[in-house]
Structure 1
Amino acid sequence: MSHGSPTRTVLVTGAAGGMCRGINARLAAAGHTVLCADLSLEAAESAAEAVRAAGGRAEAFAVDVADADSVSALADAVHERAGDIDVLVNAAGILDRKYLADHDAHSFERTLDINLVGPFRMIQTFAPELVRKGWGRIINISSIAGVTGYPYPSYSASKAGLSNLTRSLVIDFWGTGVTVNSICPGVVDTPMVIQQVRDQVPRKVPTEQIVNPDEIGGLALFLMSDDARNINGADLLIDGGATRYFQLFDRP
């Protein structure tokens, strides 16, 4: 890996998703071991196999981040098969395309339980081993929806909460060698992005480019490097300038 950093063991939740395929690939190409965790073991194994097919090292695990018992079982399985982790990437999440009137309390809470409480469970479970070793990286995959707002309130609220959780946790990891940061992507080239959103990129994104999942992986790699040791509690936007544009003015 660049910067002379050692190889690490990285646990990625939501690893079978389109964005995480890029993250997994970049991490593995740099020599890191990727522990692919997803809701179904079959999906996780598919993600791990893609890493292995490219010459990387990967293992597959099932986890439901909305279930405390499942997260505990994941920890047991990871420690038995791979030992301690060095980096936790919280990427598991859902986008519930419901407007305010379409939501009920259960559907709103479900999004928060997966997108916000899920990462909290993962951090609370795996952080002690990072602290014990005196080095660790926690990378939360948030969204510009948590910065600007978004038409789907459960999603934007969950991502705003995740970014604020990131900022708040720097106190808990004071002096431990563990940093915690958020990556906030804009429109990412994954199957989740509907065509209507893709069509708006030239009008809404100053670079006129959709974000490639590989770029998210590159940013995660940088956060793991020694050069990023003093980046802590940050929301790192990777959105082509879309957030700044939304905040200022409409295109004439």
Structure 2
Amino acid sequence: MTPRNVLVTGAAGGMCGGINARLARAGHTLLCADLNLAAAETAAETVRAVGGTAHAFTVDVTDAESIRDMDAAAEDAVGRVDVVVNAAGILDRKYLVDHDDASFERALGVNLVGPFRMIQRFTPGMVERGWGRIINISSIAGVTGYPYPSYAASKAGLSNLTRSLVIDLWGTGVTVNAICPGVVDTPMVIEDVRRQVPRKVPTERVIDPEEIGALATFLISDDARSINGADLLVDGGATGYFQLFDRP
């Protein structure tokens, strides 16, 4: 596999530990970007501790100027960005009646507008070079109904943005795909959800973050060059299970 410079947003998050590890083991250089610079530094150091190459940056994906500054810093560090993994995201556990405009708009800002801005910023260079990969971390919440409307709406938007961008990137050598995880073993998952996994997920297990990293690594490879505009479910079969009644 050709080594690439891979920018990961939200790189200090629980799922990104697995993503960073798998990408580093494949020989890619990690550009670990997070709102919290100290946390990004820790994520980069974790990669370096196992022999990988990593750099740390701060970015607020809701702020176009912050993205521009990070782009300049990344260019100084490695020269170019070949791959963007849009993993920064928030889950606001609010039902419809609990949301106000600000909370709903913040979820859309981080989970949907942020990736859009990142893609808009970094794809021109990829197009110019004739090769690039955009990997959006969506969710099964963007495919099915979900109790928290801001999260579901933002992830559905991200998945459809993914499908739509293949038109803009037609013939450029840049592909864009979405990974849609189910219940992943991260601090974001509440204990009540973990307890429900055996009866709601056919594989009866929580997903390891490195499984998401493995798929991201594959999408960067030449073997995945014809996968484009796809929602790739990593959910243990949860969305394929018609749960009219609870399993006995």
1:191 aligns with one of 168, 187, 191 = 187
Corresponding residue number in structure 2 for 1:150: 146
Indicate the larger mover: 167-176 or 67-76: 67-76
Query: TM-score, structure 2 length as denominator?
Result: 0.98
Corresponding residue number in structure 2 for 1:104: 100
Q: Secondary structure at the match of 1:171?
A: helix
- Aligned AA for 1:220? A
| Distance in 2, Cα, partners of 1:132 & 1:79 | 15
| Distance in 1, Cα, partners of 2:139 & 2:244 | 19
Corresponding residue number in structure 2 for 1:79: 75
Q: How far off is 1:227 after superposition?
A: 1.0
* 2:196 is the alignment partner of 1:200: yes
Instruction: Indicate if the aligned counterparts of 1:115 and 1:162 stay in contact, CA closer than 8 A.
Output: yes
Instruction: Indicate if the aligned counterparts of 2:199 and 2:246 stay in contact, CA closer than 8 A.
Output: no
Q: How far off is 1:246 after superposition?
A: 4.2
2:230 aligns with one of 230, 234, 250 = 234
1:29 aligns with one of 3, 25, 30 = 25
2:49 aligns with one of 45, 50, 53 = 53
Any idea what the Cα deviations from partners look like across 1:98-129, whole Å, max 9, x if unmatched? Answer: 11010001110000000000000000000011
- Aligned AA for 1:251? R
Q: Secondary structure at the match of 1:184?
A: strand
Q: How far off is 1:251 after superposition?
A: 2.6
Corresponding residue number in structure 2 for 1:7: 3
Q: How far off is 1:149 after superposition?
A: 1.7
1:129 aligns with one of 125, 131, 146 = 125
Instruction: Indicate if the aligned counterparts of 1:116 and 1:159 stay in contact, CA closer than 8 A.
Output: yes
CA RMSD for the aligned pairs?
1.0
Q: How far off is 1:248 after superposition?
A: 6.8
| Distance in 2, Cα, partners of 1:10 & 1:30 | 11
* 2:12 is the alignment partner of 1:16: yes
Q: How far off is 1:191 after superposition?
A: 0.9
2:65 aligns with one of 66, 69, 91 = 69
| Distance in 1, Cα, partners of 2:102 & 2:150 | 11
Corresponding residue number in structure 2 for 1:40: 36
Q: How far off is 1:133 after superposition?
A: 0.8
| Distance in 2, Cα, partners of 1:72 & 1:249 | 50
| TM-aligned CA distance change 1:193 to 1:246, over 3 Å | farther
Any idea what the Cα deviations from partners look like across 1:152-201, whole Å, max 9, x if unmatched? Answer: 00000000000000000000100000000000000000111010000000
- Aligned AA for 1:100? L
| Distance in 2, Cα, partners of 1:247 & 1:198 | 17
Query: TM-score, structure 1 length as denominator?
Result: 0.97
Q: May I ask how many residue pairs the two structures share in their alignment?
A: 248
Any idea what the Cα deviations from partners look like across 1:121-157, whole Å, max 9, x if unmatched? Answer: 0000000111011011100000000001210000000
- Aligned AA for 2:180? C
Instruction: Indicate if the aligned counterparts of 1:48 and 1:59 stay in contact, CA closer than 8 A.
Output: yes
Q: Which runs of 5+ in 1 are unaligned?
A: none
Instruction: Indicate if the aligned counterparts of 2:11 and 2:87 stay in contact, CA closer than 8 A.
Output: yes
| Distance in 1, Cα, partners of 2:78 & 2:107 | 30
Q: How far off is 1:209 after superposition?
A: 1.1
- Aligned AA for 2:81? I
Instruction: Indicate if the aligned counterparts of 1:94 and 1:111 stay in contact, CA closer than 8 A.
Output: yes
- Aligned AA for 1:215? E
Instruction: Indicate if the aligned counterparts of 1:148 and 1:247 stay in contact, CA closer than 8 A.
Output: no
Q: Which runs of 5+ in 2 are unaligned?
A: none
